[in-house]
Amino acid sequence: MSVTTTTHLNFRGDAREALDFYRSVFGGRTAAVTYKDAGAVQNESEADWLMWGEVTGDEGFHVMAYDVPSQLPWDQGRNGFFVSVRGEDTEEISALWARLAEGSTVVRPLEAAPWAPLYGMLTDRFGVTWVLDVAVAWS
């Protein structure tokens, strides 16, 4: 199996600051993609917010984060995180999606996205929101 799980933190405008802080604590490297970088700006005031970001440390620390756009609901105490499942194989991610999707609410269908060959989000019958994607290098 080639998948990993990572805590995916959700913010409203301060994801970059949070990732910088976590990097200062745990070390490692930050990768960040803004809504502007991805060509997905829906609100000009949020163009530099993070659509996707992560800190990866040499000793195994890994956390992902993004800024929830203002047109989507966000409550820090209710949907402050996702579980991110990343893999390198589209068939494997598709199979995991099919199993997780049973009894779930699909937030975003598993399909190609500008930043990944497959990306999807669902909330399972236990109320846990999962993000599944096929990982690609982003510089």
Report the CATH number that the domain containing residue 119 is assigned in CATH. Answer: 3.10.180.10
Instruction: Give the sheet arrangement for strand 4-11, strand by strand.
Output: 29-34, 50-56, 62-67, 4-11, 81-87, 129-134, 116-123, 105-113
On whether residue 38 sits in a domain, the answer given is yes
CA–CA dist 110, 99 (Å, integer): 13
Q: Are 84 and 6 in contact (CB under 8 A)?
A: yes
**For position 139, what pLDDT does the model report?**
53
CA–CA dist 16, 110 (Å, integer): 26
- Which residues are bridge partners to 33 per DSSP? 52
pLDDT tens per residue across span 6-16: 889 898 999 99
**Quick check: helix, strand or coil at residue 132?**
strand
On whether residue 139 sits in a domain, the answer given is no
Q: What's the predicted TM-score (pTM) here?
A: 0.68
Amino acid letter, residue 8: H
Surface-to-core class of residue 79, CB atoms within 10 Å of its CB (0-12 exposed, 13-18 middle, 19+ buried): middle
On whether residue 130 sits in a domain, the answer given is yes
On whether residue 16 sits in a domain, the answer given is yes
- Which residues are bridge partners to 62 per DSSP? 56
Q: Which domain holds residue 43?
A: 4-134
What is the pLDDT averaged over residues 99-127?
Answer: 90
Q: Are 90 and 118 in contact (CB under 8 A)?
A: yes
The count of structural domains within the chain is 1
| 138: pLDDT strictly greater than 80 | no
pLDDT tens per residue across span 46-87: 999 999 999 998 878 898 999 999 999 888 777 778 888 888
Dihedral of alpha carbons 54, 8, 12, 45, sign: positive
What is the pLDDT of the chain when averaged over all its residues?
Answer: 89
How large a percentage of the chain has pLDDT more than 70?
Answer: 96
